[in-house]
Amino acid sequence: MPELSEDSASSSLPSGGVTAEPTHFHNETILHCWNWSLDEISRNLETIKEQGFTAVQTSPMQPQKDYCPNGNWQNEWWKLYQPLGFSIAERDHSLGSKDDLIELSNKADELGIKLIVDVVSNHLAGGGSESFNGAVRHYEPEIYDANLLHKGVGSVDDHDVKRLVKGYLGGYPDLQTESKTVQNAVIDLLEEYIDCGVDGFRFDAAKHIETSHDGECASDYWDNVIGSAKEYAEVKGKDLFVYGEILNTPGDGRDVAWYLENMNITDTVASWNLLNAVTGNDLENVAKDDIFGYEIDKDEAVLWGESHDTFANEGWGTRDAKQSDVDLAYAMATSRGDVSTLYFARPKDNGKMGESGTGAYKEKPVAAINGFRLAMGDSSNSFSVDGDIMVNERENGGTKGLAIFKKDGGSFSIATDLPNGNYVDEVTGSSFAALNGTLTGEMDQSGIAVVYAEGSGASTALPTISVSPSDSPIYDQPIEVTIDVRNADASSYSIDGGTPVSFDGTAVVSIGNGLPSETSLVVEATNGNGTSKKEMHYRFAEKTKMRIRVDDIPSEYIEGRELRAWVWGDGKERFVEGEFVGNSFSFAYEEGDRNFLLATFKDDETEFSWNTCLEQTSDQTIEEGKVYDGASLGWRKV
């Protein structure tokens, strides 16, 4: 890490306009895997790739405040935004460890997906609004002992520059980001991430950290921190993607251009305009090339239909928004190709930290619009509005594509210069008809349709494969699996390595007729651009009374390990051996047993006692009929 000079507040830097040439970055289509465990992201990477995303973004991986292994996301997510220090958490983190991050990065590299990590550097965990949480000292003794935070400024205020960049945010004490001790600590964190294979960063609360143009409040924080990270990444052969969170305005008397010298930024104004245009059914308001809320080049913006702030923070207002409205706003932004876009993967209402959420990102409209973006490259936008229908028509290398938007879908009729003929909607597979300058058809309720000019298709698109239901739970009876393939010349499926069975479009397969078992289902589809493959593993086990089942235990606790349950209640306690099916472990319990936990041992262990135990989970209450999630049991070393 390049060492910075001794601590000093760089308040003597001049204010005024930008003197350096802004840095423009490549565009990405980012899936925000908010609160997902790193293992959960890794398990879904193939699907994320197939859905057309070019990057995934994780929640912060710094040591977290008040670790709670089984907490619901509503109560726990904010703790990741009150970190205890500037390093990657090695243990007691809701999402994983440094080793998990390295493993995820390697897999993402294999699939050509960029890995972006959220970074919190404006503040650390608070004991109060102007004091550190005592646990900070363990991770950042220099910062803690020197008390490098701002005091006597008050809370943040967009109308006062000093309060904006030096005031406390909620109950989070504001760090002295002008301090070289703080800057060096942040640089250490970024370099540690880069060493793990991370490809980019999102800076939380970026607008609350001063720029070099903020007059008496100015510092060289961004120049030093991001500049050092980019230099370090360049040596490693990486081109970092960096963007910062600018909520609403940059503040009175301030300019977003000051941030653009070092990073892309979120355009909150344009993003809200997109969603409001959908909910207000006024698509004409955003059917134009310049929808941006700031004076900004298109490729400097990150747009969304919904963000974790608008969804999770009280009073922001998208929690009750329809997923289809949010998706439509995202799709209109993503159809452009000249901006970066972020798809927020909503958590389930009662979901826990580490879980992947509702799975809406897997739907066909999302894949279709992401595919449109990839197929159209950097070609120009051409927007038009016909009544309540918006169209973005683009052409790339002889392939003409139309992205069509209508709130809640339904029948449509729009003017077109497409030759007479039938055109396949990439979302539904249904046919749209072009006749004498008019294109008509029926859209599904997503309100998103994508078509390509007859005979050309999406020049870079592989076949898409969807399989339902998911292979993640354990089933206690045979199931019917529906396979749907789009944009393929030939497709087939095989069960447990058997002879491939060819099909066209859709197939329904019955599996799981021999319990307990694990059944593999492999689907392949081919077109002129190549082959897509999806492999699913379905697990089946008999449902028995007086038996506990724990699904989806992380592989790190199974591979090369012996697993036992420690069961107790009514005055008796013991280690119990169980059975494995895939990553699922089940064991019997007896009348009077009240609690259990899982414990791991060396694979050649013969003495199963607490003296030889390697890891254990937190205590669990036995509930008859409940299936436990092995990834959220609070694993920790003994």
CA torsion 294→297→300→304, rounded to 10°? 60
- Same-domain status, 99 and 193: yes
Percent of the chain with pLDDT over 90: 66
| Residue 263, in any domain of the structure | yes
- pLDDT score at 574: 93
- Same-domain status, 440 and 301: no
d(CA 369, CA 336): 10
Which of 488, 565, 559, 492 minimizes the C-alpha distance to 524?
Answer: 492
Number of domains in the chain: 4
CATH of the domain at 405: 2.60.40.1180
Phi-psi group of 191: left, alpha or beta (phi > 0 → left; psi -120 to 50 → alpha; rest → beta): alpha
CA torsion 475→539→350→347, rounded to 10°? -130
Average confidence score pLDDT of the chain: 89
- pLDDT: is 468 or 440 the higher one? 440
- Place 515 in a pLDDT band, splitting at 50, 70 and 90: low
- Same-domain status, 448 and 584: no
| Residue 215, in any domain of the structure | yes
| Residue 160, in any domain of the structure | no
- Same-domain status, 350 and 471: no
DSSP-assigned beta bridge partners for residue 521? 495, 536
pLDDT at residue 390 is higher than 50: yes
Mean pLDDT value of segment 239-258: 94
Q: Give the pTM.
A: 0.74
- Same-domain status, 552 and 533: no
Cβ contact 148:173 at 8 Å: no
Could you give the strand order of the β-sheet that contains 421-424, starting from the edge strand earlier in sequence?
Answer: 410-415, 438-443, 431-435, 421-424
| Residue 150, in any domain of the structure | no
Mean pLDDT value of segment 408-436: 91
- pLDDT: is 155 or 627 the higher one? 155
Look up residue 427 and give its amino acid. V
- Place 170 in a pLDDT band, splitting at 50, 70 and 90: confident
Non-local (6+) Cβ contacts of 492 within 8 A are 500, 501, 502, 503, 523, 524, 525
Non-local (6+) Cβ contacts of 225 within 8 A are 121, 183, 186, 187, 190
Domain boundary among 521, 540, 559: 540
d(CA 357, CA 293): 31
| Residue 81, in any domain of the structure | no
Q: Which two tokens stand for residue 331?
A: 């799709």
Q: pLDDT by residue (tens digit) across 352-382?
A: 899 998 999 999 999 999 999 999 998 999 9
d(CA 567, CA 9): 58
pLDDT at residue 23 is higher than 50: no
Q: Is the torsion defined by CA of 209, 213, 216, 219 positive or negative?
A: positive
Q: pLDDT by residue (tens digit) across 255-291?
A: 999 999 999 999 999 999 999 999 999 999 899 989 9
Mean pLDDT value of segment 414-433: 89
Domain boundaries, position 618:
547-637
CATH of the domain at 184: 3.20.20.80
Neighbours of 46 (CB within 10 A): 16
Domain boundary among 328, 362, 396: 362
Could you give the strand order of the β-sheet that contains 506-511, starting from the edge strand earlier in sequence?
Answer: 464-468, 479-486, 506-511
- pLDDT score at 457: 41
d(CA 226, CA 200): 11
- pLDDT score at 473: 66
> Which range among 62-76, 149-163, 411-425, 613-627 has the greatest average pLDDT?
149-163
d(CA 58, CA 31): 9
- Same-domain status, 419 and 531: no
pLDDT at residue 397 is higher than 80: yes
CA distances from 315 to 14, 74, 132, 318 (A): 37, 14, 27, 9
Non-local (6+) Cβ contacts of 50 within 8 A are 367, 462, 464, 465, 532, 534
Mean pLDDT value of segment 600-610: 89
| Residue 10, in any domain of the structure | no
Q: pLDDT by residue (tens digit) across 114-127?
A: 999 999 999 999 98
- pLDDT score at 316: 64
Q: Which two tokens stand for residue 368?
A: 């279709």
| Residue 165, in any domain of the structure | no
- Same-domain status, 501 and 443: no
- Same-domain status, 198 and 316: yes
d(CA 375, CA 509): 32
- Same-domain status, 355 and 444: no
pLDDT at residue 169 is higher than 60: yes
Domain boundary among 509, 540, 571: 540
| Residue 458, in any domain of the structure | no
Mean pLDDT value of segment 616-621: 91
Q: Which two tokens stand for residue 206?
A: 């970026």
pLDDT at residue 558 is higher than 70: yes
- Same-domain status, 229 and 335: yes
User: DSSP assignment, residue 43?
Assistant: H
- What is the CA angle 111-116-117, rounded to 5? 135
Look up residue 600 and give its amino acid. T
- pLDDT: is 150 or 488 the higher one? 150
- pLDDT: is 599 or 605 the higher one? 599
- Same-domain status, 414 and 480: no
CATH of the domain at 526: 2.60.40.10
d(CA 581, CA 610): 25
- Same-domain status, 603 and 518: no
